Structure 1
Amino acid sequence: MTDGINIRELVLEILLAVTKEEEYSHIALSSVLEKHQYLTKQERSFITRVSEGTLENMIELDYIIDQFSNTKVKKMKPVIRCILRMGVYQLKYMDSVPASAACNEAVKLAERKGFRNLKGFVNGVLRNISRNLEKIEYPDEKKYPYEAISVRTSVPVWMLKQWSKDYGLNKAKTIAESFQTKKGTAIRINLTKTTKEALMESLSKQGIQAEPVVLKEYPDFDYAMYLTGYDYLAGIPEFVQGDFTVQDVSSMLVTHVAAPKAGDYVIDVCSAPGGKSLHAAELMQGEGMVEARDLTGYKVDLIKENISRCGMKNICAKQMDACILDEASIKKADLVIADLPCSGLGVLRKKPDIRYRMTEEKEKSLAALQRQILSVVCEYVKDGGTLLYSTCTIDRMENEENTAWFLANHPEFTLLLERQIFPDAGEGDGFYMAKFIRK
């Protein structure tokens, strides 16, 4: 605790923002950590671990609570529900936190938030769970495979059934399990400003571990690393001065496969926060122009912020609606990058809240939106130019089915490459890409 700030109260603030206010988890966490930058590295790590861990394991945590509480989780007040969830997470997954501390702090937090009358309830449920952690009964996987995998991995049953239909039950299980594993922070080195060797040496002097990423199928992919052991990004001088950008390996592959050349005119139609656009500008060695577009002023400001930090000159940001045809851009682009809004089912490791807010109905509407945007932005590709369609999902409806639809409706394009990257295989998140050439 620093200056009277209760770090568990900050965790509760994050959980309520995500589960009650429907804030994105990474934004809620970043907002709290940025507001309280004076906290120690240990305190910041605790906040990150408990908030992310609670969200990642919420289905399992609710399953456990329901076994020991007469009031089911769904009927609890949001504050009490979140206090119990974070308490059970500490009991089950954090050996460094004594059971007595997890229970006592939860009781204090309930009182602090105005629920003095429920102190006994919170205390009773958590202490009962603490005494019986080893006796918790889970669904039988042979009898109830989807329910059992869902509870163990906190992936909703409907997602598991969808993946099982597309790829088989065993693959669905390994995909779900992969979202429970952790990797370091993936970064892309800005080779226009530094080298991999120089960056690794500089980071090492700060006690930050940097592990290069090697992809056998792409031997020229030599600008990605995983970072561990740092406090926060804004505290790393090399990040502030634009020597590297945080970006998933699979996301980097999109621009790598698109292969923009020096002097090209590139349009990235849904660019924020600008990782792929900046990557293209770097691969183009400062020549040509990348136009990074997005729908809202907020997103365009994010792109501009990253452009400024990285110091690239052959890139600009514009506020434009990808659904509306820009007549001035017709057949002007050598490359159009269309990394479109999607269900995000490939990035549950980084954005666990997607598990609970995405639905089959939303997924269908997103697939339709992708088709609408593709039909507009393909007009910007010049003869002989490239269209790179990508999503961060593993859903066939949004990926292979949309590609087949696009080819059937736009015979002026030829498919050069189609690839589904799974989160349980390879270095990065679940991603899909399809590379088209206009004849």
Structure 2
Amino acid sequence: MEVLPYHNLYVGMIETLESIFEKGDYSDKALERTFKKNRLWGSRDRGFVAEMVYDMVRWKRTIDFASANALRKRHYWDFIAAWIVMNDGRLPDLEEFKKVKAQKIKGNYLQALRIPAIKHSISDELFEIGQNELGDQWITELEAMNQAAPAVLRVNTLRTNEKELKAELLDKEIRITKLKRFPDAYVLVEKENLFLTEEFKKGYFEMQDANSQLVAPFVEVEPGMRVADACAGAGGKSLHLAALMENKGNIVSMDIHQWKLNELKRRAKRAGAHNIQTKLIDSTKVLKRFNKSFDRVLIDAPCTGLGVLRRNPDAKYKLDKATLERVLVEQKEILETYSKLLKPEGILVYVTCSILPSENSEQVKTFLSNHPEFTLLEEKTLMPAETGFDGFYMAKMTKKA
């Protein structure tokens, strides 16, 4: 583990970790604020701080155990020191690290490895949830999701093609490699901030996990169709649908949060996706106007996000049984409500980024038992350990004439 020796980097780390652990801020937003505050940091400094922060968030419980509960005491220097020692790194020659007892940390860490929930850095409650639903597979999935996620991009065919994008990035010494089985997916070979590139600003690509890129094709859209993206959020799936439809037809991207739809509009403009219309769902009256009016309805449902913990390690410490129960009720209501938007003989697709059967196949099974007019055509479960990418569930149903 390479460790940089500069005091101000650790001060920045501590401010970021305080924001995440004590105020509940998301890691990316907390880091963004830290970088704005420290504009003189070079790319190597920022990369070091970001990697350390994400790793310490991911392994929070394990580190806290090894550091003898440093977080509870708000001893952030000890917390950072424990992570460095656990990874056989050399502690910088800084005053705050002088009294660190490395052997004690290593002993505590060995003890942590014997307690599954602490070893995999999740709460006892979340460990129990996963074990109850997935059995022995849960450990395998946790091991996969505790690895850093690869940076994957999707070529935006509305703006460019794979050959041109690859060539333009290569001119900037940015190398990407084609992923087999994924039509428009490339993985970044070395860490780069692609958001600063001119190609990103021109909408040539979107950052999107490889398994996430399988959702839009699963919907079986065609140019000219009328499509509803029922829980569109910031619009990642809507943008992909627009590309597959070649900007022909109409996509109505719906959400209950206007700020998410505003972000979708901004992204759609950059991507050149002109067939997207946003719709704020602030009452049931809005949805009644859309009854039986869509050829395709995509429900990318709110979920626990247990399939994307590699990208959102913060979520590991916010999920509990009460959260799961609330999500299950919400998913059932959304399926009931938005399935009414589908035309007869249309296709309804239900998607989550969770790997729990209770949120996935069991929800669909219950829906189908209550709605005999719907028939299951296909379902897929994509597990992180098996695929190397994010976890997703997809179910495709059709409505009888």
* TM-score w.r.t. length of structure 2: 0.91
Structure 2 equivalent of residue 340 of structure 1: 301
User: For 1:266, what is the secondary structure of its paired residue?
Assistant: strand
Matched, 1:207 2:204: no
Structure 2: tracts of 5 or more residues without a match: 1-5
Structure 2 partner of 1:319 = 280
**Residue in structure 1 matched with residue 3 of structure 2 by the alignment:** none
Aligned to 1:114: none
AA matched with 2:266: E
Q: Is the 8 A contact 1:186 1:249 kept in 2?
A: yes
Name the aligned partner's letter for residue 76 of structure 1: K
The 10-residue stretch of structure 1 (239-248 or 418-427) with the greater mean CA deviation from structure 2:
418-427
1:22 pairs with 21, 24, 38, which one?
A: 24
Matched-pair contact (CA < 8 Å) for 1:322–1:377: no
1:85 aligns to what? 79
Are positions 1:152 and 2:119 aligned together?
Answer: yes
How far apart are residue 322 of structure 1 and its match? 8.2
> Are 2:238 and 1:272 equivalent residues in the alignment?
no
Aligned alpha-carbon RMSD (Å):
2.3
- Equivalent pairs counted in the alignment come to 395
Q: Superposition pairs for residues 19-418 of structure 1, below 5 Å?
A: 19-33=21-35, 39-66=41-68, 72-73=69-70, 75-77=72-74, 80=75, 82-93=76-87, 95=89, 98-101=90-93, 104=94, 107=96, 123-124=98-99, 127-128=100-101, 130-136=102-108, 138-139=110-111, 148-169=115-136, 171-215=137-181, 221-321=182-282, 326-418=287-379
Distance 1:321 1:253 in 2: 30
Contact 1:250 1:427 in 2 (8 A): no
CA contact (8 A) 2:149 2:311 kept: no
Distance in 1 between residues matched to 2:248 and 2:222, nearest whole Å: 9
Does the 8 Å contact 1:207/1:229 carry over to 2? no
| Residues 1:320 and 1:40: Cα distance change in structure 2 (over 3 Å) | same
Following superposition, the deviation at residue 332 of structure 1 comes to 0.5
Q: Please, which moves more after superposition, 364-373 or 408-417?
A: 408-417
Over 3 Å counting, the alpha-carbon distance change for 1:416 and 1:308 in structure 2 is same
Say if 1:7 and 1:404 are closer, same or farther in 2 by CA, change over 3 A: same
**Identity across aligned pairs (percent)?**
27
Q: Against the structure 1 CA distance between its residues 56 and 406, is the aligned structure 2 distance closer, same or farther, given a 3 Å change threshold? A: same
Separation in structure 2 between the aligned mates of residue 32 and residue 324 of structure 1, nearest angstrom: 43
Secondary structure of 2:67 counterpart: helix
Distance in 1 (CA, whole Å) between partners of 2:39 and 2:252 is: 34
The superposition leaves residues 184-203 of structure 1 with CA deviations (integer Å, 9 ceiling, x where unpaired) of 31111111221212212221
The whole-number CA distance in structure 2 between the counterparts of 1:386 and 1:435 is 7
Moved more, 378-387 or 418-427: 418-427
After superposition, give the CA deviation of every residue in 1:349-397 in whole Å (9 maximum; x if it has no partner): 1100111011111111101001111111001011111111111111111
Q: Which amino acid aligns with 2:91?
A: A
Secondary structure at 2:311 match in 1: coil
Amino acid at match of 2:18: L
> Deviation per CA, 1:244-276, whole angstroms, max 9, x where unpaired?
001111211111111211001111111121110
CA deviation map 1:309-347 (0-9, x unaligned): 111111122222487761111011111111111111111
Is contact 2:209-2:390 (8 Å) kept?
yes
Instruction: Tell me which moved more, 391-400 or 221-230.
Output: 221-230
1:324–1:376 contact (8 Å) kept in structure 2: no
SS, match of residue 211 in structure 2 = helix
| 1:13 aligned onto 2:15 | yes
User: Distance in 1 between the 2:395 and 2:336 partners?
Assistant: 15
Residue 317 of structure 2 aligns to a residue whose secondary structure is helix
Distance verdict in 2 for CA 1:24–1:6, change over 3 Å: same
Change in Cα spacing, 1:405 to 1:340, as seen in structure 2 (3 Å) is same
- Counterpart code for 1:138: L
Q: Secondary structure of the residue that 2:79 maps to in structure 1?
A: helix
Amino acid at match of 2:209: D
Output one character per residue of 1:197-232: Cα deviation in whole Å (capped at 9) or x when no partner.
2212221221222121112xxxxx310011143542
Q: Is the 8 A contact 2:293 2:342 kept in 1?
A: yes
TM-superposed deviation, 1:74: 6.1
What SS does the aligned partner of 2:24 have?
coil
SS at match of 1:377: helix
CA distance in 1, matches of 2:43, 2:70: 33
> Helix, strand or coil: the match of 1:291?
strand
Unaligned runs of 5+ in 1: 67-71, 108-121, 142-146, 216-220
Amino acid at match of 2:133: D
Aligned-partner SS, 1:20: helix
Change (3 A) 1:172 1:433: same
Normalised TM-score (structure 1): 0.84
Q: RCO higher in 1 or 2 (8 Å CA, sep ≥ 6)?
A: 2
SS in 1 for 2:359: coil
